[in-house]
Structure 1
């Protein structure tokens, strides 16, 4: 009897001790955090208050920067949209693929279905994968029939779910596509799309200015949808056409629903907002809020969307198990095809911050963009000067989820993205309008190129010259002093490095 009492006491004491230990231990994080990439369109280095903007206040984007890691040397691969999105998803420099240029809305898919992508890699790790928002990487294999299943597309390169616009808001077709099918299509009103000639009887921005609610400045004078002239021609599909002013809310709801439906399993979401790309069509709630016209208004709208999305993660109880990566596809542009007061109402705001250039430019403002990583409770708030690029996400995320990946140009910087290391890349090749340059350490080398020095339509310097350019960003962030003549040793070193990465072919692009 005495033995049984002692045995009972030991068992009870052991259970109590075990519970006591488990109560004092910090709850372990699941092995597979949710991963969200929030990607903006034409957002400049100086457009966020966290990056120095004083005329615009972006509290929700700032939260990601101030409570996560704010990278001061974070880059897109390219100064334009399609190439950057290609590099982001594939981990491959876009200049390696001649098809990775700004695409029309009717272009075929430029990512091979055999190619490695972030969603493919994450699916191998057990993730459910989705995209909501802008695609602009082509659809189909040519001569797309928009009235049937459209493939190949996002679903064929790794996404389990996709809800997208095919190209850009200023290009036809002006419809949403859900998992390969046009959303809301009336089969009795089939869609026709052409980037060569108009369809008989269809009004255009060029010939029917009286029908416009937004006037075109350059290049946007084809088919009119919702009073807005677009690039390219479209006929039919009236029931499926989107409402421009509701687009932000529409995509936000899709992103929120995706989170709610998949919160009980590890998921990846590529949430590709279209702000502040043209046409800038803020919801009436945001019209006039910035005092800078539609461009400022849609930046505030995007900031609000991000805040609402974050609330959803919190309400669903998964914020602390979600890694959020925030960036932009390229630098800023003001007048990019429409008269919308972006220049006239700019005031003291500087979309590029201290950087020179902008969208389309080899100067820093073309590819250096806002770049943050946020993971509540895991990433400690900090500022990092490490050189990082969006192409590095493939190899880095593969390391995070412990799977092998075909990394190509992608480098594993996961420790840097988590704030455990201050080291970044040694070298990065950047691209703008099919021309390339090298960032190496604190230096930038731009080879000589022929062509216009300024894109006069948008009033942005291309960053090209008939001579080599060499800048020390540590002492000259605004790239005002070309040191090529003073530092021939450094110039030669960077030329050799550039050639090792690019190969001999780069010389064929030079102006000498």
Structure 2
């Protein structure tokens, strides 16, 4: 702890590196300069990518937020947990408090653990009273310190929560939340468009906070409501403060950015900075925040003893519920890069995301084609700190993360809104799924088809040439592997009986 070391005692951080996971929200493979973006500038992320290992086959577990966050912290495929889906703001905690997590594992090895930013893994056990201590939550699954928003920026309650308590709450103005019906007399985006500074496109027409219509209904808590345009600064300051306060002991910081998730509300310093409207501007803002965080590590003298892993919870989406010029001002920028699909999709752009490992002077600059998943961070960090803890689906890829090996995963199940696919070697299998081929609201191909889809990614990264009919042997091999991994969890086995 701070102040406990004697002058002649070796500092604990000499053998236990600090660990920071920087987790962006809806950042696409093509949104980063180091991954091919020429229109959108991300110099600070690029600095990490160019100074560390830049993975070209780095994956989130899922094409949506809550499942990916569950997998990241637990090392368990989200399809093993029926509750690991996109959650409303009132959802109970979906991580069993008895389950081992990254922060629990690291805390047992002498780390102080903290989360700052987006949580979206549920809070409480149901029927949360937002005016009292809220538990279980991050503190009950391993985090010593937690400064979070409950769910997402577009969902109520629109308040910050610090170690289980809503910050700035006036007890005489209690918070009430309802996801089914509005409170009497409360304005909504649907009924009161004259109150809006951001127009809703779909699904975001309930309670209005800060001129922005949200998902869900909220009453009260006026003094506790956040100002959207200040959110990036608010989280950055808390993350910097956490580093400063714990620099003299090994720490783990999960810095979960809200950008570029909707509603995109850049601070006035960044408005117009990208030329692409609010979506581009908040990516520029997020990149700046990352740069400021790195400066803090440098100023506190701990950068050389800090492993940083940067990634995103899923792929990109443009119009995700608000009119904010994301489509109109896109220009020549392609958020998915050369990949097909995006958020919500079983195609590659849904789950293949920027994935960077940086450790100054310990990781040599390299580009790695090894397949690695965020699920594997659990086992890799356990190896790093000599923990014996294991997790069901996490593989120890520490040497891959450190750039010492190119031998990544051979097999990986990918998930998108409960549908799953298989990546094996250079191949990917998407089983038949019912449903629309495209989500027309967000204009993203979902990967649904009545037929098997089989793609050879090293030759067809854009997934344009379905080889299921012409390479029957490979198809059968992939189907067998998929069924072996999914086992009884797969509820559509009949669809996998090859004709």
Normalising by structure 2, we get a TM-score of 0.96
> In the alignment, which residue of structure 1 is the partner of 2:338?
354
Alpha-carbon contact 2:13-2:249 (below 8 Å) kept: no
> In the alignment, which residue of structure 1 is the partner of 2:421?
437
Alpha-carbon contact 1:75-1:368 (below 8 Å) kept: yes
Q: What SS is found at the alignment partner of 1:365?
A: helix
> In the alignment, which residue of structure 1 is the partner of 2:119?
135
Cα deviation for residue 510 of structure 1 reads: 6.2
> In the alignment, which residue of structure 2 is the partner of 1:333?
317
Cα deviation for residue 353 of structure 1 reads: 0.1
> In the alignment, which residue of structure 1 is the partner of 2:37?
53
Runs of 4+ in 1 over 3 A off after TM superposition: 509-512
1:187 to 134, 147, 171: 171
> In the alignment, which residue of structure 2 is the partner of 1:109?
93
Provide the C-alpha distance between the structure 2 equivalents of 1:82 and 1:206, rounded to a whole number of angstroms.
27
Alpha-carbon contact 1:394-1:405 (below 8 Å) kept: no
2:205 to 221, 238, 252: 221
The answer to whether the aligner puts 1:77 opposite 2:61 as a matched pair is yes
Provide the C-alpha distance between the structure 1 equivalents of 2:489 and 2:144, rounded to a whole number of angstroms.
38
Cα deviation for residue 504 of structure 1 reads: 3.9
Q: What are the Cα deviations for residues 320-360 of structure 1, in whole angstroms up to 9, with x where unaligned?
A: 00000000000000000000000000000000000000000
Alpha-carbon contact 1:176-1:240 (below 8 Å) kept: yes
Alpha-carbon contact 2:13-2:250 (below 8 Å) kept: no
Provide the C-alpha distance between the structure 1 equivalents of 2:210 and 2:489, rounded to a whole number of angstroms.
46
Q: What SS is found at the alignment partner of 2:492?
A: helix
List gaps (5 residues or longer) in structure 1: 1-26
Provide the C-alpha distance between the structure 1 equivalents of 2:205 and 2:152, rounded to a whole number of angstroms.
15
Provide the C-alpha distance between the structure 2 equivalents of 1:511 and 1:333, rounded to a whole number of angstroms.
30
Provide the C-alpha distance between the structure 2 equivalents of 1:510 and 1:369, rounded to a whole number of angstroms.
32
> In the alignment, which residue of structure 1 is the partner of 2:361?
377
> In the alignment, which residue of structure 1 is the partner of 2:73?
89
> In the alignment, which residue of structure 1 is the partner of 2:3?
none
The structure-2 alpha-carbon separation of the partners of 1:258 and 1:435, relative to structure 1 and needing over 3 Å to count, comes to same
Alpha-carbon contact 1:449-1:509 (below 8 Å) kept: no
The structure-2 alpha-carbon separation of the partners of 1:148 and 1:507, relative to structure 1 and needing over 3 Å to count, comes to closer
Cα deviation for residue 471 of structure 1 reads: 0.0
Cα deviation for residue 505 of structure 1 reads: 4.0
The answer to whether the aligner puts 1:34 opposite 2:12 as a matched pair is no
List gaps (5 residues or longer) in structure 2: 1-10
Cα deviation for residue 430 of structure 1 reads: 0.2
The correspondence of residues 455-474 of structure 1 with structure 2, limited to 5 A, is 455-474=439-458
The answer to whether the aligner puts 1:483 opposite 2:467 as a matched pair is yes
Cα deviation for residue 508 of structure 1 reads: 1.9
Cα deviation for residue 464 of structure 1 reads: 1.2
Alpha-carbon contact 2:22-2:254 (below 8 Å) kept: yes
Cα deviation for residue 29 of structure 1 reads: 7.6
The structure-2 alpha-carbon separation of the partners of 1:28 and 1:136, relative to structure 1 and needing over 3 Å to count, comes to closer
Alpha-carbon contact 1:447-1:510 (below 8 Å) kept: no
The structure-2 alpha-carbon separation of the partners of 1:272 and 1:438, relative to structure 1 and needing over 3 Å to count, comes to same
The answer to whether the aligner puts 1:409 opposite 2:374 as a matched pair is no
Provide the C-alpha distance between the structure 2 equivalents of 1:173 and 1:75, rounded to a whole number of angstroms.
30
Alpha-carbon contact 1:449-1:510 (below 8 Å) kept: no
> In the alignment, which residue of structure 2 is the partner of 1:269?
253
Provide the C-alpha distance between the structure 2 equivalents of 1:505 and 1:45, rounded to a whole number of angstroms.
30
> In the alignment, which residue of structure 2 is the partner of 1:395?
379
Cα deviation for residue 438 of structure 1 reads: 0.1
For these two proteins, the number of residue pairs brought into alignment is 486
> In the alignment, which residue of structure 1 is the partner of 2:287?
303
Cα deviation for residue 406 of structure 1 reads: 2.7
Q: What SS is found at the alignment partner of 1:36?
A: strand
Give the aligned CA root-mean-square deviation in angstroms.
Answer: 1.1
Cα deviation for residue 72 of structure 1 reads: 0.2
Q: What SS is found at the alignment partner of 2:14?
A: coil
Alpha-carbon contact 1:327-1:372 (below 8 Å) kept: yes
Cα deviation for residue 511 of structure 1 reads: 5.4
Q: What SS is found at the alignment partner of 2:264?
A: coil
Cα deviation for residue 490 of structure 1 reads: 0.3
Provide the C-alpha distance between the structure 1 equivalents of 2:334 and 2:232, rounded to a whole number of angstroms.
24
Provide the C-alpha distance between the structure 2 equivalents of 1:173 and 1:390, rounded to a whole number of angstroms.
28
Alpha-carbon contact 1:84-1:329 (below 8 Å) kept: yes
Q: What are the Cα deviations for residues 248-282 of structure 1, in whole angstroms up to 9, with x where unaligned?
A: 00000000000000000000000000000000000
Cα deviation for residue 509 of structure 1 reads: 6.5
Alpha-carbon contact 1:171-1:231 (below 8 Å) kept: yes
Cα deviation for residue 153 of structure 1 reads: 0.2
Provide the C-alpha distance between the structure 2 equivalents of 1:509 and 1:464, rounded to a whole number of angstroms.
16
The correspondence of residues 153-232 of structure 1 with structure 2, limited to 5 A, is 153-232=137-216
Q: What SS is found at the alignment partner of 1:348?
A: coil
Larger radius of gyration: 1
Provide the C-alpha distance between the structure 2 equivalents of 1:58 and 1:382, rounded to a whole number of angstroms.
18
> In the alignment, which residue of structure 2 is the partner of 1:233?
217
The answer to whether the aligner puts 1:285 opposite 2:266 as a matched pair is no
Q: What SS is found at the alignment partner of 1:466?
A: coil
Provide the C-alpha distance between the structure 1 equivalents of 2:375 and 2:389, rounded to a whole number of angstroms.
13
1:257 to 241, 252, 268: 241
Provide the C-alpha distance between the structure 1 equivalents of 2:474 and 2:177, rounded to a whole number of angstroms.
51
Alpha-carbon contact 1:450-1:510 (below 8 Å) kept: no
Alpha-carbon contact 1:330-1:369 (below 8 Å) kept: yes
